[in-house]
Amino acid sequence: MVRPPYPAVVRLCTIADERWPEIDTAYYPHAILREKPHRFLNLVYTWCIERVEHDKIEEWIEELHDLLPWQDATTEAAVNAESESFMAMMAKQ
């Protein structure tokens, strides 16, 4: 997956994983893991926005939607990963 909002979803899930005790406590007693995925991500997003400095919110949002490291086709790692993926696909045929 490379289309938006994939990078934002990956980053929000990573934040939720890394900061889970704080996020869970912020929404206590609401069981946010039982929410639909879009609702869960909206809650994590809101938790983050409340903690970003006001003058840096736009920058944070842009970074949230930036390509992930493995999606940037200009890096050597991305080129190698794409080549390996292609070769693996060809080997299955």
More confident residue, 73 or 54: 54
Q: For a pLDDT cut of 90, what percent of the chain falls above it?
A: 62
Measured distance CA(66)–CA(8) in Å, rounded: 8
Assess whether pLDDT exceeds 90 at residue 6. no
pLDDT in tens, 14-52: 999 999 999 999 999 999 999 999 999 999 999 999 999
